[in-house]
Amino acid sequence: MHELSIAQSIVEAVCERAGDSRVRRLTLVVGRLAAVLPDALRFCFEVCAEGTVLAGAELYIVEPAGRGRCRDCGREQGMNSLYDLCACGAAGLECVGGAELLIKEMEIA
């Protein structure tokens, strides 16, 4: 479960940035193609946040949909997986959205 190491890294980064200020809310962007399970990340976040300035913080996860561009015809379309085919039948769509994994914002007390 790589969500645990991701949660640990998020907690470390936010704690470093927040200093001694209590964090009330944290917003993450986790694209649907990022290979991260939001529910697993939430669980791991709660465990990793215990005893830190993030303890009890509300975790809000934004999940942008996947978008890809065909390398053959240039068409842009939605993607449900990294292995989707273009409507023209070509394989190997270039992912142009939905693979993000980032800390968007934090609200401190």
Other CB atoms within 10 Å distance of the CB of residue 48: 21
Q: What is the pTM of this model?
A: 0.88
pLDDT tens-digit readout, 60-87: 999 999 999 999 999 999 999 999 999 9
pLDDT tens-digit readout, 2-26: 999 999 999 999 999 999 999 999 9
Q: Is the pLDDT of residue 1 over 80?
A: no
CB 23 within 8 A of CB 14: yes
Q: Nearest Cα to 15, choosing from 61, 41, 49, 43?
A: 49
pLDDT tens-digit readout, 23-69: 999 999 999 999 999 999 999 999 999 999 999 999 999 999 999 99
Q: What is the mean pLDDT of the chain?
A: 95
pLDDT band at 100 (very low <50, low <70, confident <90, very high): very high
Q: Nearest Cα to 71, choosing from 46, 88, 47?
A: 88
CB 36 within 8 A of CB 24: no
Enumerate domains of the chain plus CATH numbers.
Answer: 3-108 (3.30.2320.80)
